[in-house]
């Protein structure tokens, strides 16, 4: 068994950042990564058209001014291959690979209450022991595979967008089915439409989407961003979502329709996700939201020639941005092509896969390749994949049987020294997730630094703090429209999953203040101990809660 200070699970953006930061503090770190290479979701989501829908300069690490200056993004919204190149560049530049075990899936982690250490076991039987176990496993990394009857009889390839094969997938001249119209389905549709003989998009819920307004990054723009990068980062940190957009101080309902039109037009043409902040109450008030939704519906309609298709592709049954909208590059216009059709699976549900394709209640759709763009078991899927065993043999699955509970989204009572990056209860997917990731890792690193200085070995959230935080998360979201519809924010994406609102909707700035206050109060809501609670050592002082 190898002993280290911190075992980090996952070598995506979060795992690499944790490794960089902890190693700089002098910690020994072992990163375990199930995949054969770096990148996490950016390693796996290699589907045609995959790109980030947060602007490149904001969806990048902020910890190194040198890195910021030397990396040259080529497009406003980077493609998946470019992001993967960036991640690999970071790993090489900071010499991080040597601390990562690839193709190593954690199957179990158990906390030794007497010794105050985690023992992590991998699929192949190898083990590591660490004082801290830091989970950097992502929020959208466990795929949801509907598994229709007859799937094994289908003669062609079935692929999930989130585990896109590493072998070349030739879709040219093929009949292709895409099931799902979230961000992944919407991104790949216009790209696949250009090469497939025929593309059928199976839609259950029509989704809102704002044009990406993607463009190459010109040298002048690159120079300007780099000359003012600190200010840009500051603005992102102080914006509600971490994307840099500041909400309009005005209510949509204070403005006349004539006044709203140019505001929405400008947001539509350039802002992407920023559209949701065109007025401050778009996500707070249904009548305000209706004004935005009506505008977007009209804009969507203008892109689609056929009136029947226009009606089907126009979102009607949920408020704009109450579930995650998309940022697209030609999704709706793709349906004007003669080789693209829409199958409405609410009208005619999928019954089964057959050797020749997909049979719905209405007809057989003959296809050569089926692509699931059906999303993920969000927030908790990857945290609950392995057995994580805390005090008294309690597993995280048992603890979260009715839904996840955390203190501040980073820690769980009965699971000492388990640290979660962007866990349920943190802004995570309601924010620029990379900014939130860095923010939490810096906070957790400072906590570990304090523990070192004060000779503390164990940190544990209190149950009371967990309950208070979950109550606060629930209270905050009540002020928004997020609860007005089913979504992966509230567990509706997986049948039988507890219906709990998981991300924190109070914004990254508010969350940062809460984290800072918690630290200033001596890590309120946590118990810090100089030895493990059940340490048998006679020399050890009695376990106690230590004020800072
Ligand atoms: O997944 P989703 P996604 N039969 O869950 C449908 C991030 N992301 O992979 O809405 C038929 O959003 C489902 O229908 P419904 C981003 O955060 C980022 O697209 O449940 N349909 C929905 O249409 C995003 O939000 C980028 O009725 C079924 C779709 O599948 C998140 O990942 C790019 C079905 C799933 O949509 C997830 O996006 C891509 C079934 N049995 C993704 N089951 C960036 O650019 C599900 N659906 C950074």
Q: What percent of the chain has pLDDT over 70?
A: 98
- pLDDT tens for 47-75 read 999 999 899 999 999 999 999 999 999 99
3-class DSSP state of 174: coil
Pick the CATH number of 143-207+325-375 from 1.10.760.10, 3.40.50.2000, 3.50.50.60, 3.40.190.10: 3.50.50.60
Calculate the CA dihedral of residues 94, 77, 320, 314 and round it to 10 degrees.
Answer: -140
Report the C-alpha gap between 105 and 101 in whole angstroms: 9
> Ligand 1 atom closest to Cα of 324?
25
Q: Is the distance from the beta carbon of residue 146 to the nearest atom of ligand 1 less than 6 Å?
A: yes
- pLDDT tens for 107-121 read 999 999 999 999 999
Closest Cα to atom 46 of ligand 1 = 374
- pLDDT for 535 equals 80
The Å distance, Cα 162 to ligand 1 centre, comes to 10
Closest Cα to atom 1 of ligand 1 = 375
- DSSP labels, 91-131: HHHTT-GGGEE-S--EEEEEEETTTTEEEEEETTS-EEEEE
Q: What is the DSSP letter of 248?
A: P
- pLDDT for 461 equals 98
Calculate the average pLDDT of the chain.
95
3-class DSSP state of 18: helix
The count of other CB atoms within 10 Å of the CB of residue 535 is 20
Q: Is the distance from the beta carbon of residue 140 to the nearest atom of ligand 1 less than 6 Å?
A: yes
Q: Which of 166, 533, 175 lies closest to 541, judged by CA?
A: 533
- pLDDT for 92 equals 98
The Å distance, Cα 325 to ligand 1 centre, comes to 10
Q: What is the DSSP letter of 79?
A: B
Pick the CATH number of 2-140+378-529 from 3.40.50.620, 1.20.1630.10, 3.50.50.60, 2.60.120.260: 3.50.50.60
With cut-offs at 50, 70 and 90, classify the pLDDT of residue 542: very low
The Å distance, Cα 331 to ligand 1 centre, comes to 14
Cβ contacts of 338 within 8 Å, gap of 6 or more: none
Query: Can 2-140+378-529 and 143-207+325-375 be said to share one CATH topology?
Result: yes
Q: What does the pLDDT average to over 336-352?
A: 98
- pLDDT for 533 equals 84
Report the C-alpha gap between 328 and 272 in whole angstroms: 9
Within 13 Å of residue 464, how many CA atoms lie on the same side as its CB? 4
> Ligand 1 atom closest to Cα of 148?
41
Distance (Å) of CA 321 to CA 19, 99, 206, 392: 34, 40, 13, 42
- pLDDT for 126 equals 97
Cβ contacts of 122 within 8 Å, gap of 6 or more: 32, 101, 104, 105, 106, 107
Cβ contacts of 545 within 8 Å, gap of 6 or more: 527, 528, 529
Report the C-alpha gap between 540 and 48 in whole angstroms: 58
- pLDDT for 538 equals 45
Are 139 and 379 a contacting pair, CB within 8 Å? yes
- pLDDT tens for 277-330 read 999 999 999 999 999 999 999 999 999 999 999 999 999 999 999 999 999 999
Between 452 and 541, the higher pLDDT residue: 452
Are 427 and 504 a contacting pair, CB within 8 Å? yes
The pTM of the full predicted model, rounded to 2 decimals, is 0.96
The Å distance, Cα 197 to ligand 1 centre, comes to 24
Q: Is the distance from the beta carbon of residue 187 to the nearest atom of ligand 1 less than 6 Å?
A: yes
The Å distance, Cα 178 to ligand 1 centre, comes to 11
The count of other CB atoms within 10 Å of the CB of residue 523 is 23
Q: What percent of the chain has pLDDT over 90?
A: 94
Q: Tokens 């105050």 map to which residue? A: 116
User: What are the residue boundaries of the structural domains of the chain, listed by start?
Assistant: 2-140+378-529, 143-207+325-375, 239-317
Report the C-alpha gap between 423 and 411 in whole angstroms: 8
Report the C-alpha gap between 56 and 73 in whole angstroms: 7
Q: Is the distance from the beta carbon of residue 345 to the nearest atom of ligand 1 less than 6 Å?
A: yes
Calculate the CA dihedral of residues 165, 167, 173, 177 and round it to 10 degrees.
Answer: -10
- pLDDT for 77 equals 94
With cut-offs at 50, 70 and 90, classify the pLDDT of residue 545: very low
Q: Where are the beta strands (DSSP E) in 256-382?
A: 326-328, 340-344, 350-354, 357-360, 364-366, 369-372
With cut-offs at 50, 70 and 90, classify the pLDDT of residue 537: low
Q: Is the distance from the beta carbon of residue 353 to the nearest atom of ligand 1 less than 6 Å?
A: no
């Amino acid at each position: 068994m190898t002993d280290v200070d911190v075992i980090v699970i996952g070598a995506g953006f979060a795992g690499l950042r944790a490794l960089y930061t902890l190693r700089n503090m002098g910690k020994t770190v072992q990163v375990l990564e199930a995949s054969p290479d770096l990148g996490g979701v950016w390693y796996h989501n290699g589907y045609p058209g995959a790109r980030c829908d947060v602007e490149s300069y904001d969806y990048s690490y902020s910890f190194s001014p040198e890195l910021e200056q030397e990396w040259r993004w080529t497009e406003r919204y980077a493609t998946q291959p470019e992001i993967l190149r960036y991640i690999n560049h970071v790993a090489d530049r900071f010499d991080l690979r040597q601390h990562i075990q690839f193709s190593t899936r954690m199957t179990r982690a158990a906390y030794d209450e007497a010794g105050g250490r985690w023992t992590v076991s991998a699929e192949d039987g190898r083990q590591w022991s660490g004082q801290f176990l830091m989970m950097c496993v992502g929020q959208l990394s466990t795929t949801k595979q509907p598994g229709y009857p007859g799937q094994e009889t289908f003669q062609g390839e079935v692929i999930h967008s989130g585990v896109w094969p590493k072998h070349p997938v030739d879709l040219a001249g093929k009949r292709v089915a895409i099931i799902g119209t979230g961000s992944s389905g919407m991104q790949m549709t216009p790209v696949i439409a250009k090469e497939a003989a025929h593309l059928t998009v199976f839609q259950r819920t029509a989704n809102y989407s704002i044009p990406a307004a993607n463009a190459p990054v010109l040298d002048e723009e690159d120079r300007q961003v780099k000359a003012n990068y600190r200010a840009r980062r500051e603005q992102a940190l102080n914006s509600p979502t971490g994307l840099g957009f500041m909400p309009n101080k005005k209510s949509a309902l204070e403005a006349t329709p004539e006044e709203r039109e140019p505001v929405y037009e400008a947001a539509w043409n350039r802002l992407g996700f920023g559209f949701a902040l065109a007025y401050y109450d778009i996500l707070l008030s249904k009548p305000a939201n209706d004004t935005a939704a009506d505008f977007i519906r009209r804009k969507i309609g203008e892109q689609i020639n056929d009136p029947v298709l226009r009606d089907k592709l126009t979102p009607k049954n949920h408020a704009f941005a109450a579930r995650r909208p998309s940022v697209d590059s030609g999704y709706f216009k793709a349906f004007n092509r003669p080789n693209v059709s829409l199958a409405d699976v609410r009208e005619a549900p999928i019954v089964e896969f057959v050797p020749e394709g997909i049979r719905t209640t209405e007809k057989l759709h003959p296809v050569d390749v089926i692509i699931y763009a059906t999303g993920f078991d969000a927030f908790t899927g990857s945290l609950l994949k392995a057995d994580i065993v805390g005090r008294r043999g309690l597993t995280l699955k048992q603890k979260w049987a009715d839904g996840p509970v955390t203190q501040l989204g980073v820690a769980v009572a009965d699971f000492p020294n388990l640290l979660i990056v962007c866990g349920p209860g943190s802004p995570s997917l309601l924010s620029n997730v990379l900014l939130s990731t860095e923010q939490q890792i810096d906070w957790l690193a400072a906590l570990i630094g304090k523990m070192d200085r004060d000779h503390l070995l164990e940190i544990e959230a209190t149950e009371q703090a967990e309950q208070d935080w979950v109550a606060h998360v629930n209270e905050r979201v009540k002020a928004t429209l997020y609860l007005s519809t089913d979504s992966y924010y509230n567990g509706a994406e997986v049948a039988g999953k507890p219906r709990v609102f998981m991300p924190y909707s109070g914004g990254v700035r508010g969350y940062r203040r809460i984290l800072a206050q918690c630290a200033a109060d001596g890590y309120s809501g946590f118990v810090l101990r100089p030895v493990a609670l059940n340490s048998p050592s006679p020399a050890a002082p009695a376990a106690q809660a230590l004020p800072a």
